Amino acid sequence: MVVLVIEYDGTAYHGSQWQANAPTIQGEMEKALQQLTGEKIRIKAAGRTDAGVHARGQVIGFTTASDLPLTAFRDGMNHYLPRDIAVLAAYRAPDGFDVRRRAVNREYRYTIRSGATRSPLRDAYAWPVAGELDISAMNQACQHLIGRHDLASFVASAQAIRDRRTVREVFKAEITGDGDMIYFDIVANAFLPHQVRNTVGALVRVGQGRLTPAEFGEMVEAAQPGLAGPTAPAAGLCLMRVNYAGPFEGEAR
């Protein structure tokens, strides 16, 4: 089995998962694989990203009859892929390795830009929010996310989580600032649909003084769909890394 770590700018895509009538990351990856190997291959991703969301460390896996070396999968895929998708690394994994189920946790970063004027370059990958945000208060609110919780409040509706369990374990939730750039980093075993973007929407309200950290904590405990938000724009969200219990067998060099 081959495992690839990929990076992509999700701006032009309708998410990572294949759709019949829209460009997707999966669609482009499978098209490039067919051009490289001559096989029609179905890939599986470690995490699903929505339309407009980016990734620096998405992981995909697939089986193939091809005996191409790992360097050929890395370099050959980069030859066929569009410029907004790239293979960063290629590995071997045992047959049947499930890149989604075997993941220990996933790391996401959401970027906010706090300022009074537009920034065409930076705003393409951030949520521009007017005025200053209270980072200390936002970090106080983040503490309510750490641990094992029912995070149903951070999905838009009960319909969005139908047939899904909503308990997740969050290992890290932190706000940091660098000038007018603000970063929300979160690590959890898994994520619900729009969970990070709805969390950011609520945290911005805390930063603006419209919601207290204690009220944010009450929102977590309520576990009621639709409480959090507004949903932050997709452009600011990036899947940074998917972590596994151990290393893969080999690596393209």
- The residue extents of the domains of the chain are 2-101, 104-240
- Which residue in the list 50, 75, 134, 150 is annotated as catalytic? 50
pLDDT at 160: 54
C-alpha 147/C-alpha 144 separation (Å) is 8
pLDDT at 157: 72
The architecture of the domain spanning 2-101 is 2-Layer Sandwich (3.30)
pLDDT at 165: 86
Return the sign of the alpha-carbon dihedral for residues 209, 212, 213, 219.
negative
> Following CA atoms 187, 192, 197, 199 in sequence, which dihedral angle do they give, to the nearest 10 degrees?
-70
pLDDT at 158: 63
Which is it for strands 127-129 and 103-114: parallel, antiparallel or unpaired? parallel
* CATH, range 104-240: 3.30.70.660
Is 180 noted as a catalytic residue in this protein? no
Q: CA 187, 3, 74 angle in degrees (round to 5)?
A: 110
Walk along the chain (253 residues) and give the pLDDT tens digit of each residue. Answer: 999 999 999 999 999 999 988 999 999 999 999 999 999 999 999 999 999 999 999 999 999 999 999 999 999 999 999 999 999 999 999 988 999 999 999 999 999 999 878 888 888 999 999 999 999 999 999 999 999 999 999 998 765 556 568 999 999 999 999 999 999 999 999 999 999 999 999 999 999 999 999 999 999 999 999 999 899 999 999 999 999 998 777 776 5
Q: Please, which residues bridge with residue 3 across strands? A: 61, 91
Task: Say whether 104-240 and 2-101 share the same fold.
Answer: yes
- This prediction has a pTM of 0.94
